[in-house]
Structure 1
Amino acid sequence: MLLAAATASLFRMLAAYVLSVLTALLIGSAMAKNKTVESILLPILDILQSIPILGFFPAALILFVTYFPERIGVELASIFLIWTSLVWNMIFGVYSSVKSLDPSYDDLVKAYNFGHAARFFFIYAPVSRRSLIANSLVSWAGGWFFLTSAEVVSLGSSEYRVTGLGSFIIEQFNSGNLLGFYLGVALLLLIITLTYFLIWNPAASKNLGLNLPSFTAVYDKIHDIVAATWGGLGELSLVVEKKLKKFEKILGFLIRLSILVALVIFALNIIAGLGSIGLPNFLPKMLAVLYEIPITLARIVFILLLSLSLSLLVAFISYRNVLLGGALSIIGEILASIPAIIWWPLLAAIALGYSYGAYIVSLIVFLQGAFWYLYYNIIVYGLSSIRKDLEELSSVYKIRGVPFIRYVFVPSLLPSIATGALSAWGGAWNASVVAEYVVVGDHSIDIGGVGALLNRLAIQGDVEGLVVSALLLSSVIVLINKTLWSRFFKYIEGKYGGED
């Protein structure tokens, strides 16, 4: 049973990851090369990436459980929910890669009359490889982080479970089977470790130039299979596109019409949904969210400062000692992937045994959701951006210790710190749904905040309240992103953007 659960979870992770890569390539390249698509999808994605996983529960139930046989629908819903925790940063990675393409590529496309398929398979996908691999390190960890939430979809009296390692671990703990619980956690850690050693570390080492402990044989085989499959699909798409060339205008019209119809139906459903809520019900729900948001916001600001301090400490250790840095990277990869909700039963003695125990465990879960974004951005991109000439000057003039950190080390990392901090900001908001409320055995732990509110609404089956709360929370996050964070990025760009 345990092996079957582990296999099922790994399959869902792989299925969600493949779907995320394809989604990222399609949407990211489309946004980068079409201003109309960019103007429509960019603000929508800003909102979607800010919605915690609980906010997608109603969509998962409506899209899959309602229209498919229950067993298939629940499985698809679980993959969809994992996909929501993987895909957003991958889309923006592809978008930035294709957006920054040298203009000479566009001249090449026009000169050789490349079709959409040729551009997608042989230009946009290859140029996005580095960003996809870099973002996959964080996304893969994020998928495991929300695995349990995706394998148990609960909304009011309706609860849907799939066989999986995350649901198995929680069930074993709640039933009092501690041996099964610890065996499940041990197997989870083993799978996470193996996937990094056999797949992600070799991928990062070969494509990003990182020196991570790994075994390359499995990755090389997978790379050959994926390359052959992708090349075959590319060649096939060229043939199909050539055959359909004479129907290009008709197909383009049908595609645009289908998208328009889908958007209209979606908008009408949203309007109908808001109409069913009614103003008297809408206002109290909105006020409840606005009351809880500052509580979570204060926690997240503290978490960001703590994450930044820890990330800089680990980065400095890695910078000074390569071997120790490699060991810390492996530990980080494993810890980053532990599903958030598993920390609660693992540390149940602390959470339930002390007056402030729940806040301590909540702090750890929040850190899980935020710290690794800063960590990976600084380790993967930041350390490689420290200029050699500054290092040599520091050595010549014997600038060490605090002056080196203040005037050379931290300023060199600022662009990576900014990018990582923004991602950590979003990750912390998403983590709030598992950091502020949890059921451990017969005990419900509720420390307040917007994450706890979303959980209470889901337990009550208040779909309208859940949707309103998730959208309002997303709007607040986007508003802060477009004001405070955008100014911070402009400052970084103005101060360091011109440096070679």
Structure 2
Amino acid sequence: MTNSVRSARPRPGAAALSTRRSGLPWIDILVAAAVLVGLYLAVRVGSGADVSFDPSHPLTVDTDPANLPYDAARSLLRMFAALAASVVFAFAYGYAAARSRRLERVLIPALDILQSVPVLGFLSVTVTGFIALFPGSTLGLEAAAVFAIFSAMAWNMAFAFYQASRSLPAELDELSRDLRFTRWMRFWRIEAPNAAIPMIWNGMMSFGGAWFFLTASEAITVLGTDQALPGVGSYAGAAIADGDLGKVGWAILTMVVMITAVNFLFWRPLTAWAEKFKNEQSEAAEVQRSLVLDLVRRAHWPAWAGRPCRAAADRIGRAARVFGVDDRSLAVDPARRRAGDLAFGVAAAALVGWGLVSLLAYLHDRTGLGVFGEPLVLGLVTLLRVIVLVVLATLVWVPVGVWIGMSPRRARIAQPIVQVLASFPANFLFPVAMWVFLRTGLSIDIGGIALMALGAQWYILFNTIAGAMAIPTDLREAMDDLGVRGWQRWRRLIIPAVFPSYVTGGITASGGAWNASIVAEVVTFGGTTLTATGLGAYIAEATGSDDFPRVLAGVAVMSLYVVVLNRLVWRRLYRLAENRFALAA
């Protein structure tokens, strides 16, 4: 792997790069100034998050377009805070699930449930607690909003790291054990670099998916009172509620500018940097490039600043030897796991059973268990929409994702376009959707599938692109030399390469579709509302009326459908990806 064992061969253009570094001190000034300006803006904008707050008095958003730059900065700050928390969560959660078979049996089903819980469900449960942590301050609302955005990002990224760790090439697994790496060294030098490409692309997708729920995250109901934090999502929600197409247009323009800027300044450099983590023997003739990354590489001080971090990581790795080395293979002998499995399974089942009994007792006392009847039936309707969406997205976006990912030049061109499309919140398009539905007579029961797709189909596309980009260049060249084309190339190279990534995209797209149904099955603009038949509309209606028992029942039923679907379909495909579809055996 290019990051694990550094080659003595210089990179193309390394000598020229060294020469340019010595003669361009202005680059150091430019990069340093950009970092300082970014830090200043983050501190300045973040200072507005801590102001006095009284839950009995609603916070409103000023829809003057002049406020949009500040609103955009507040939204971006929440998004990046949630992204940082999601990365830490994904590494910790995915590592635990991949490295422990016992924990895997609990953590992965739990992840299925967590990704099925809608953002509105998390907000309903957590907002009161966050406000209690910061009484009299809007920090409680800010923390609730960041957590809601986190809940739209974290599960997909955790799945990505889990899948990358489970499909770790056998030679890297053996190398780690032969060199007697500690668990930290194995994670830092083997597992994290191996997961870099899927983690970055899934992070990009999760970031885009979080934009989809920005309005729900920034407009929060507390004790029956609507509270709106400054942000693009709450601005758009207020403009849509007012039926003001002009202000909706300003919000759309702001979103496009923000997404394009974030892609240029953040995601494009990351995807270009991730090229170094490809598991290949020969270097590609064409790689992704980024102007921002080139400027950072040509500056001196980022390398100087990074040396203490690398030294600290090395010291941590050496110190971790006191806890022993990680000499256990990923392929654990089932016979070694039987001794404690029964006790662990009983404990986990007892905990889950206690939670289920508590939930049923609560609902029995409030409404009776008959409350599950309606959401169970409505869930079948939404399930049909989810299945249709995933099948159509697979047929359309897998070939497109492979076509993009197989060419760095095409990936460089398509990335910002796909990022804008994937990041666009569906409710921003409600005025257009409403006009189309009313003009054509199309039922929202069918049109809702298209609105759900806006928040779900991109998981399949992004994961397919990541899987295609990770195909080693030497394998592509070998296929070219052997004249393997058409279906044979797909069967022998492309499908085994992208299938694990596709499964990750499929399972998160399925969960994302259930989540998106809450937004897509109820379309409102001005004073007109179109409501589809489905579980998403049921949960949205219960949330709007503060009917907590019905919210719990709806979320529980949605979680049940997602878990059953994952158990019957996606988990089997995961095992197939591990056992048959892998580039290295």
Q: CA deviation at 1:85?
A: 0.7
Whether 1:309 aligns to 2:395 is yes
Tell me which of 40, 44, 48 is aligned to 2:114. 48
Whether the aligned pair in 2 keeps the contact of 1:350 and 1:358 (CA below 8 Å) is no
In structure 2, relative to structure 1, the CA distance for the partners of 1:312 and 1:497 (3 Å cut) is closer
Q: CA deviation at 1:18?
A: 0.7
Whether the aligned pair in 1 keeps the contact of 2:160 and 2:504 (CA below 8 Å) is no
Give the match for residue 257 of structure 1: none
In structure 2, relative to structure 1, the CA distance for the partners of 1:151 and 1:235 (3 Å cut) is farther
Give the match for residue 292 of structure 1: 378
In structure 2, relative to structure 1, the CA distance for the partners of 1:156 and 1:468 (3 Å cut) is farther
After superposing the two structures, state which structure 1 stretch, 79-88 or 218-227, moved more: 218-227
Whether the aligned pair in 2 keeps the contact of 1:155 and 1:461 (CA below 8 Å) is no
Q: 3-state DSSP class of the match of 2:226?
A: strand
Give the match for residue 183 of structure 1: 250
Give the match for residue 29 of structure 1: 95
The separation in 2 between residues aligned to 1:354 and 1:279, in whole angstroms, is 46
Structure 2: state its 5+ residue gaps. 1-66, 279-285, 322-349
Q: CA deviation at 1:440?
A: 1.8
Tell me which of 235, 243, 262 is aligned to 1:168. 235
Q: 3-state DSSP class of the match of 2:540?
A: helix
Give the match for residue 199 of structure 1: 266
Give the match for residue 6 of structure 1: 72
Q: CA deviation at 1:130?
A: 3.7
Amino acid at match of 1:477: V
The separation in 2 between residues aligned to 1:155 and 1:459, in whole angstroms, is 11
After superposing the two structures, state which structure 1 stretch, 197-206 or 217-226, moved more: 217-226
Give the match for residue 482 of structure 1: 567
Q: Deviations over 1:229-249 (max 9, x none)?
A: 85587589799999xxxxxxx
In structure 2, relative to structure 1, the CA distance for the partners of 1:186 and 1:224 (3 Å cut) is farther
Amino acid at match of 2:439: G
After superposing the two structures, state which structure 1 stretch, 356-365 or 265-274, moved more: 265-274
Whether 1:372 aligns to 2:445 is no
Q: CA deviation at 1:294?
A: 1.1
The separation in 1 between residues aligned to 2:91 and 2:85, in whole angstroms, is 10
Whether 1:88 aligns to 2:155 is yes
In structure 2, relative to structure 1, the CA distance for the partners of 1:68 and 1:228 (3 Å cut) is farther
Question: Which structure dedicates a bigger proportion of its chain to helix?
Answer: 1
The separation in 1 between residues aligned to 2:393 and 2:413, in whole angstroms, is 19
Whether 1:331 aligns to 2:417 is yes
Q: 3-state DSSP class of the match of 2:125?
A: helix
Give the match for residue 254 of structure 1: none
Q: What RMSD over aligned residues (CA atoms) do the two structures have, in Å?
A: 3.9
Whether 1:466 aligns to 2:551 is yes
Q: 3-state DSSP class of the match of 2:230?
A: coil
Whether 1:215 aligns to 2:282 is no
Give the match for residue 216 of structure 2: 149
Amino acid at match of 1:169: A
In structure 2, relative to structure 1, the CA distance for the partners of 1:329 and 1:171 (3 Å cut) is same
The separation in 2 between residues aligned to 1:377 and 1:202, in whole angstroms, is 18
Give the match for residue 201 of structure 2: 134
After superposing the two structures, state which structure 1 stretch, 437-446 or 403-412, moved more: 403-412
In structure 2, relative to structure 1, the CA distance for the partners of 1:161 and 1:474 (3 Å cut) is same
Give the match for residue 58 of structure 1: 124
Q: CA deviation at 1:325?
A: 5.6
The separation in 2 between residues aligned to 1:94 and 1:411, in whole angstroms, is 20
Q: CA deviation at 1:226?
A: 9.0
Q: 3-state DSSP class of the match of 1:448?
A: coil
Whether the aligned pair in 2 keeps the contact of 1:344 and 1:351 (CA below 8 Å) is no
Amino acid at match of 1:339: P
Q: CA deviation at 1:373?
A: 1.4
Amino acid at match of 1:181: V
Give the match for residue 339 of structure 2: none
Give the match for residue 15 of structure 1: 81
Tell me which of 173, 176, 179 is aligned to 1:105. 176
Q: CA deviation at 1:430?
A: 1.5
Amino acid at match of 2:551: L
Q: 3-state DSSP class of the match of 1:163?
A: coil
Whether the aligned pair in 2 keeps the contact of 1:12 and 1:79 (CA below 8 Å) is yes
Whether the aligned pair in 1 keeps the contact of 2:197 and 2:470 (CA below 8 Å) is no
The separation in 1 between residues aligned to 2:461 and 2:434, in whole angstroms, is 27
Q: Residues 237-252 of structure 1: matches in 2 within 5 Å?
A: none
Q: 3-state DSSP class of the match of 2:441?
A: coil
Give the match for residue 353 of structure 1: 439
The separation in 1 between residues aligned to 2:304 and 2:558, in whole angstroms, is 42
After superposing the two structures, state which structure 1 stretch, 342-351 or 477-486, moved more: 342-351
Q: Deviations over 1:86-116 (max 9, x none)?
A: 1112223333445546255357567xxx5x8
The separation in 2 between residues aligned to 1:318 and 1:265, in whole angstroms, is 46
In structure 2, relative to structure 1, the CA distance for the partners of 1:156 and 1:470 (3 Å cut) is farther
In structure 2, relative to structure 1, the CA distance for the partners of 1:194 and 1:344 (3 Å cut) is same
User: Percent identity over the alignment?
Assistant: 26
Whether the aligned pair in 1 keeps the contact of 2:201 and 2:271 (CA below 8 Å) is yes
Q: Deviations over 1:376-412 (max 9, x none)?
A: 12222136547544445456xxx65xx6687668745
Q: 3-state DSSP class of the match of 2:133?
A: coil
Give the match for residue 442 of structure 1: 527
Q: Deviations over 1:305-356 (max 9, x none)?
A: 2211221442465479875564333311110011122121343322343421
Whether the aligned pair in 1 keeps the contact of 2:514 and 2:558 (CA below 8 Å) is no
In structure 2, relative to structure 1, the CA distance for the partners of 1:497 and 1:317 (3 Å cut) is closer
Q: CA deviation at 1:8?
A: 0.2
Tell me which of 429, 435, 456 is aligned to 1:343. 429
The separation in 1 between residues aligned to 2:413 and 2:89, in whole angstroms, is 33
Structure 1: state its 5+ residue gaps. 243-263
Q: Deviations over 1:248-285 (max 9, x none)?
A: xxxxxxxxxxxxxxxx9999887655433216824222
The separation in 1 between residues aligned to 2:177 and 2:577, in whole angstroms, is 30
Whether 1:432 aligns to 2:517 is yes
Give the match for residue 448 of structure 2: 362
Whether the aligned pair in 2 keeps the contact of 1:64 and 1:74 (CA below 8 Å) is yes
Q: 3-state DSSP class of the match of 1:356?
A: coil
Q: CA deviation at 1:288?
A: 1.2
**Taking structure 2 as the reference length, what is the TM-score of the superposition?**
0.70
The separation in 2 between residues aligned to 1:348 and 1:20, in whole angstroms, is 34
Amino acid at match of 1:22: V
The separation in 2 between residues aligned to 1:281 and 1:128, in whole angstroms, is 47
Greater C-alpha Rg: 2
Whether the aligned pair in 2 keeps the contact of 1:142 and 1:337 (CA below 8 Å) is yes
Q: CA deviation at 1:477?
A: 1.3
Give the paired residue count. 473
Q: CA deviation at 1:2?
A: 0.9
Q: CA deviation at 1:27?
A: 2.6
After superposing the two structures, state which structure 1 stretch, 299-308 or 379-388, moved more: 379-388
Q: Deviations over 1:415-448 (max 9, x none)?
A: 1443432222222112111111132221222111
Q: CA deviation at 1:479?
A: 1.6
In structure 2, relative to structure 1, the CA distance for the partners of 1:224 and 1:30 (3 Å cut) is farther
